[in-house]
Structure 1
Amino acid sequence: MPALLDVTLPVFLVIGFGYAAARLGFIRDGAVDGLMQFAQGIAIPCLLFRAISTLDLGQVFGGPLLVSFYAGATAGFLAGLLGARLLFGRPWQDAVAIGFCALFSNSLLLGLPITERAYGAGALSANYAIIAVHSPYCYALGITVMEVVRHSGRGLPATARAVATAMFRNPLVVGIAAGVAVNLSGTELPRVALEAVDLLVRAALPAALFGLGGVLVRYRPEGDLPTVLFVCALSLVLHPAITWSLGQALELGQGPLRSAVVTAAMAPGINAYLFANMYGVAKRVAATSVLAATVLSILTVPLWLALLD
């Protein structure tokens, strides 16, 4: 266990440094926002573009990998949706947002660095395959169900447009799509341009982790404790447990299984709060769940790493 903590603690310490810097006033909210805009809007899309443009797409986009991960994610979403409605009596719109918290794991800011530290940079191919589908799948599912429960009456074409608009305004999706286009076309990019992109890539995860800590200062642990703990259990236990079980049953190889389970074991990402804020529902639960699950994952992630080893 101490060795596994050595793998995970540096990642959480960088988040902690960002939290402390923002909490103590060394960096202002505007600086944190600027850092996160750089990380999520430029550096991480460059990271995804660079990784996916060189992947063997036919090899890494395997059915067992995606089924194992996304069956667990969908089960978490449905459990969160129904649990919020039936166990905690939340309105349907709140229930969808709470289900989204259990659906959208932090595959980028936590999943990538922890997998890399645990298994090396060569183990990240399966992570990138999961990430390539992550935002499109999660937002498509969440927005579609939310539009249904809201009885908006906009019809299928309008709902499809809302989903597509949300997708392609996301810089991460743009980076992924550009990487796929370069990969499939076999385009040779100028070496000097790739070197410039690589400089941005090296800054992506440290900047994002530090910025994540600064953002978490804004999320106060307020109320709704049973619901928040329920979301934490779905995110940190149910999702990775289903992914691990299906990965074993589908004979997923050791490397892809590790990537899938580690990614599934991550706390909800900031997008969980952004989704709730977009619809103006369950914002307190979403914000507190992001903070609480991130803290609890310091304890739970080493357990999953131990199981995988």
Structure 2
Amino acid sequence: MQALIEVVLPVFLVIGFGYAAVWRGLFSESAVDGLMVFTQRFALPCLLFRALSTLDLGAGFDPALIGSFYAGAVAGFLAGLLGARYLFGRDWEDAVAIGFCCLFSNSLLLGLPITERAYGADALAGNYAIIALHSPFCYALGITAMELVRARRAGAGTAGLPTKVAGAMLKNALILGILAGIAVNLSGWPLPVPIGDALDLMVRAALPAALFGLGGVLYRYRPEGDLRTIAFVAAVSLLLHPAVVWGLGQASGLPETGLRSAVVTAAMAPGVNTYIFADMYGRARRVAASSVLIGTAASVFTAWLWLAALP
């Protein structure tokens, strides 16, 4: 038990430091914005580029790993979508935004450091394989569903939908870092040593700065109403998604290292991108914002339980 607490707690303490610093006025909200711009647009894309440019793609992209994780993600999306519509009476556009909250787990800022602390840096190949597809897959599904719902409501066609989805994804710096890393990997071209060393400097700053900044961002997302819906999102994200991944991973014979990466990533709270998606469409913003905060707080305990259950 103590070992598991030592794995999980430091990650959430860094988030807590960021939260407390903004709460007590020691770090301004404008400074948080600047820090998140640095991490989201520069440091984290460098981390993903560096990892994917050297990843063994054949070993990392195990069909059982990818299939188990993303089947669980789709199950979470459908549970959130249908639950929001039929349990809580939200309209279809709100329901898509709430489904996105159940779809988009915090694979990068929480899943990556917790997996590394639990199992070591050599256990991260599965995490990076999941992360390489995570933003493209989730945004493609979420944007497609939202645009279909809006087109149906407006009685309009969907001829321009693929262009709209592709354009939205290619504006995301994380996706660009992923694509560039895979391109370099497939090309087989080695990076010049000075460029590699510069990227490594950026990479070392990425996760600690992003976790601290996440704490500051969460301070803004204090819960206001919709508590039943938020609790539902947290339950789907922290319990249903990893349970589906666990079951499918076991059934498909997923190796132990892949099972760990898939379940730990699936067990993470909704990421900040869920609020970005809700804000982009002006739908269910309060649910998305509060789900990030409450889900992250609850995952201190649920992450510990999933780690205890894993081999």
**Shorter-chain TM-score: which interval?**
over 0.9
Distance in 2 between residues matched to 1:278 and 1:173, nearest whole Å: 17
Q: For residue 250 of structure 1, report the CA deviation from its aligned partner.
A: 0.3
Aligned match of 2:78:
78
Give the counterpart letter for 1:95 in structure 2.
Answer: A
Name the CA distance, whole Å, in 2 between partners of 1:58 and 1:192.
28
Task: Give the corresponding residue for 2:69.
Answer: 69
Indicate the SS of the match to 1:217. helix
State percent identity of aligned pairs. 69
Q: Does structure 1 conserve the Cα–Cα contact (< 8 Å) formed by 2:148 and 2:158?
A: no
Equivalent residue number for residue 9 of structure 1 = 9
Indicate yes or no: 2:146 matched with 1:139: no
Q: Quote the offset at 1:155 in angstroms.
A: 3.6
d(CA) in 2 for partners of 1:91 and 1:201? 42
Structure 2 equivalent of residue 214 of structure 1: 216
Could you say which residue in structure 2 is the equivalent of 1:100?
Answer: 100
Q: Who is 2:115 aligned against?
A: 115
From 179, 189, 199, the equivalent of 2:191 is 189
Aligned to 1:234: 236
8 Å CA contact 2:126, 2:258 repeated in 1: yes
3-state SS in 1 of match to 2:160? helix
Instruction: Give the letter for the 1:299 counterpart.
Output: F
2:97–2:283 contact (8 Å) kept in structure 1: yes
d(CA) in 2 for partners of 1:84, 1:153? 23
Paired residues for 1:1-309 under 5 Å: 1-151=1-151, 152=154, 155-309=157-311
Distance, in Å, in 2 between the alignment partners of 1:271 and 1:153 is 29
Q: Secondary structure at the match of 1:25?
A: coil
Amino acid at match of 1:168: L
Assess if the C-alpha contact under 8 Å between 2:88 and 2:229 holds in 1.
yes
Q: CA deviation at 1:153?
A: 5.5
Equivalent residue letter for 1:118: A
Gaps of 5+ in 2: none
Letter in 2 for 1:42: F
The structural deviation recorded for 1:166 is: 1.2
Cα distance in 2 between the residues matched to 1:74 and 1:154: 26
**TM-score with structure 1 setting the length:** 0.99
The letter for the 1-side match of 2:222 is: R
Structure 1 residues 71-91: Cα deviation after superposition (integer angstroms, max 9, x where no partner): 000000000000000000001
Structure 1 stretches lacking a partner, 5+ long: none
Amino acid at match of 1:28: S
Q: Aligned letter for 2:283?
A: V
Q: CA deviation at 1:2?
A: 2.3
Task: Give the drift of 1:158.
Answer: 1.3
> How many angstroms does 1:161 deviate by?
1.2
Give the match's secondary structure for 1:105: coil
Normalising by structure 2, we get a TM-score of 0.98
Question: What's the CA shift string for 1:193-224, capped at 9, x where partnerless?
Answer: 10010000000000000000000010011101
Q: Is this contact kept in 1: 2:11–2:211, CA < 8 A?
A: yes
Alignment RMSD, CA only?
0.9
Deviation at 1:252, TM superposition (A): 0.3
Partner-residue secondary structure (3-state), 1:130: helix
